[in-house]
Structure 1
Amino acid sequence: MKTLLPTSIAGSLPKPAWLAQPETLWSPWKLPEDELAEGKLDALRLAVQNQLLSGIDIVSDGEQSRQHFVTTFIEHLNGVDFEKRKTVKIRNRYDASVPVVVDAVTRPEAVFVKDAKFLRQLTSQPIKWALPGPMTMIDTLYDDHYKSREALAWEFAKILNQEAKELEAAGVDIIQFDEPAFNVFFDEVNDWGIAALERAVEGLKCETAVHICYGYGIKANTEWKKTLGDEWRQYESVFPKLQKSSIDIVSLECQNSRVPMDLIELIRGKKVMVGAIDVATSTIETPQEVAHTLRNALKFVDADKLYPSTNCGMTPLSRRIAAGKMQALSAGAAIVRGELA
């Protein structure tokens, strides 16, 4: 029988201290090269165990084998020079030194498929895998080859589609594309961003999701949020077109954010992954707080289409806090499940 209100995490979990520096984004690996591959799989196994112990229904890898949700994928592609770097403004918010696209981008081999097969062996529960979306990928690079954001996004969409098809074949039930850039470049999203995303999911039979958040709880993001006013209506710009798209699930940020819940009405008919855990604070939500967020969401989405989740990834948090937040998510979903029954 299908679980009502199946819980999942949006993306990353904190890595063990022996693998990478805790509570740090983009933290370098601590293990030597000959031990690293095995260490990453050990961390993945722990991430799965932590999710299962916390009562999470749809299990993911917690992004244990990637330093960064975008660049780790790009590192495996041809046409991008990581030695040659340029400074760009990421999502119009903060400067970052990024690699340069110097030639046609291609994917010589699968990037995450081996890890996904390993994840599939660890649990009989549904599994989800996150990939960066095409628009967020181009926003994390300097393009010296295509000279067109749209053209580069389209090439990435084709590459992502190849990867997604192999992930599906490896037994992944939900493939999620992370598109925080959708909250910034509204005209581009509607002109070609959603079309590029649909190219990435072309021909897939598994469920597909797009995750659109306001970012990790880092200073640049929290400062940006302060400028957004009393109501965050960014989703209003992209939801109408997403509602008509072939994407199955839309993942959005709701806990402690100023996103008006009624914006979910704009994606009526889609499954909605509702962020009911705030990743920008170390305060662990109570199950009652999670339940309150889910009840509010249920005014705008049918119960069989509501997927309780976290706002974003939890890499910058401690492992203890992340575990507490996952437990709160499960307990809050259980409260609402009981009420619906």
Structure 2
Amino acid sequence: MNKLLPTSTAGSLPKPSWLAQPETLWSPWKLEGEELASGKQDALSLSLQEQQQAGIDIVSDGEQSRQHFVTTFIEHLDGVDFEQRETVRIRDRYDASVPTVKGAVSRQKPVFVEDARFLRQQTCKPIKWALPGPMTMIDTLYDAHYKSREKLAWEFAKILNQEAKELEAAGVDIIQFDEPAFNVFFDEVNDWGIATLERAIEGLKCETAVHICYGYGIKANTDWKKTLGSEWRQYEEIFPKLQQSNLDIISLECQNSRVPMELVELIRGKKVMVGAIDVATHAVETPEQVADTLRKALQFVDADKLCPCTNCGMAPLPRGVARAKLRALSAGAEIIRRELAG
């Protein structure tokens, strides 16, 4: 990708209303069987078309074939019982009923590789594929087998590495690991979280990214953000070690967040996906607001390493709002490209 400031999304985009209930996280499918399979492909094609029309440079599947960014991957693994559920506290923020790890976890077959191949056939643009990171996976389960967050994370890292290698072979250009848990469990991130992520990317030749955000615009997350004070410095705890890691790209939440932009200096040298679109509001940014966020970031990120992006996934937003936000992202990036060229 040689274009300056290539735009991208963090991951999910709203699903069409004929596929799943709009503006809802974990929304159940409205189709089943063969109809669901072809419906997901139709939605993926539609999502790609919307990204391209909005001028997005690095495209994704919009997570159209996934109900949830973590559990859809876990559903395909052995060793996890979805019938036996326990209530756990997710990211120290809210309680959720989650499946139980009953035995050794393993992956018998690819999970997203067919979908990735389908996306690759539809476009010549660089494609990015998101997978859940090991720490966020263990934070979304009850572990009755390993009895150790770290042990289970290493097992998941091995499984993610198998999937990532097959995604790379299917033509994926960037593999992104979603790790919102990195903004919560700082000691674990530094002790073994980044190490397990490096295990997940072992041997990959494509670019790798880690997406660390403050979460979807759901009430549990927005309430939590209100407790974080006037400056959100969570990234400061983990950036020094991430800067030393083998990951190529760090994806961050910067729009309407209270993250002091100078923290980005701590990952100097990495590519940075700067979240310039707030996903927790229906208000659509102006291109100038997007440009302003990117200008601030350019004080701490070299222009050839800056990728304008969304803060997080947009699955819970109305489709029209998400489309307008993507257009604003592209237009804002174009303002800065012109300034840099001028």
TM-score by length of structure 2 reads: 0.99
Deviating more after overlay: 121-130 vs 30-39? 30-39
The one-letter amino acid paired with 2:209 is A
Q: State the shift of 1:224 in Å.
A: 0.1
The one-letter amino acid paired with 2:288 is Q
Cα-Cα RMSD = 0.5
Indicate the SS of the match to 1:172.
coil
Indicate the SS of the match to 1:100.
strand
Deviation per CA, 1:53-77: give whole Å up to 9, x if none: 0000000000000000000000000
Query: What is the correspondence of 1:55-134 to structure 2 with a 5 Å cutoff?
Result: 55-134=55-134
> Structure 1 residue 312 and structure 2 residue 312: aligned?
yes
Q: State the shift of 1:32 in Å.
A: 2.2
How far, CA to CA, are the matches of 1:42 and 1:239 in structure 2? 39
> Structure 1 residue 162 and structure 2 residue 162: aligned?
yes
The one-letter amino acid paired with 2:94 is Y
> Structure 1 residue 272 and structure 2 residue 283: aligned?
no
TM-score by length of structure 1 reads: 1.00
How far, CA to CA, are the matches of 1:32 and 1:186 in structure 2? 41
> Structure 1 residue 218 and structure 2 residue 218: aligned?
yes
How far, CA to CA, are the matches of 2:126 and 2:35 in structure 1? 29
How far, CA to CA, are the matches of 2:122 and 2:264 in structure 1? 34
Q: Which residue of 2 aligns with 1:284?
A: 284
How far, CA to CA, are the matches of 1:18 and 1:89 in structure 2? 32
Deviation per CA, 1:206-253: give whole Å up to 9, x if none: 000000000000000000000000000000000000000000000000
> Structure 1 residue 185 and structure 2 residue 197: aligned?
no
Deviant stretches of 4+, over 4 Å: none
Deviation per CA, 1:96-143: give whole Å up to 9, x if none: 000000000000000000000000011100000000000000000000
Q: State the shift of 1:166 in Å.
A: 0.2
The one-letter amino acid paired with 1:288 is E
Q: State the shift of 1:308 in Å.
A: 0.3
Indicate the SS of the match to 2:321.
helix
How far, CA to CA, are the matches of 1:210 and 1:280 in structure 2? 20
The one-letter amino acid paired with 2:261 is M
Q: Which residue of 2 aligns with 1:206?
A: 206
Q: Which residue of 2 aligns with 1:146?
A: 146
The one-letter amino acid paired with 2:198 is E
Deviation per CA, 1:31-67: give whole Å up to 9, x if none: 0223100000000000000000000000000000000
How far, CA to CA, are the matches of 1:171 and 1:338 in structure 2? 31
Indicate the SS of the match to 2:96.
strand
Q: Which residue of 1 aligns with 2:20?
A: 20
The one-letter amino acid paired with 1:4 is L
Q: Which residue of 1 aligns with 2:259?
A: 259
The one-letter amino acid paired with 2:182 is F
> Structure 1 residue 295 and structure 2 residue 295: aligned?
yes
How far, CA to CA, are the matches of 2:34 and 2:171 in structure 1? 28
How far, CA to CA, are the matches of 1:298 and 1:131 in structure 2? 28
The one-letter amino acid paired with 2:283 is T
How far, CA to CA, are the matches of 1:108 and 1:158 in structure 2? 13
Q: Which residue of 2 aligns with 1:241?
A: 241
Indicate the SS of the match to 1:98.
strand
Indicate the SS of the match to 2:209.
strand
Q: Which residue of 2 aligns with 1:5?
A: 5
Indicate the SS of the match to 2:314.
coil
Indicate the SS of the match to 1:78.
strand
Q: Which residue of 2 aligns with 1:323?
A: 323
Deviation per CA, 1:190-218: give whole Å up to 9, x if none: 00000000000000000000000000000
The one-letter amino acid paired with 2:106 is T
Indicate the SS of the match to 1:152.
helix
How far, CA to CA, are the matches of 1:24 and 1:277 in structure 2? 19
Indicate the SS of the match to 2:126.
coil
Q: Which residue of 2 aligns with 1:29?
A: 29
Deviation per CA, 1:275-296: give whole Å up to 9, x if none: 0000000000000000000000
How far, CA to CA, are the matches of 1:34 and 1:122 in structure 2? 21
Q: State the shift of 1:319 in Å.
A: 0.4
Indicate the SS of the match to 1:210.
strand
Deviation per CA, 1:140-199: give whole Å up to 9, x if none: 000000000000000000000000000000000000000000000000000000000000
**Number of aligned positions between the proteins:** 341
How far, CA to CA, are the matches of 2:33 and 2:40 in structure 1? 11
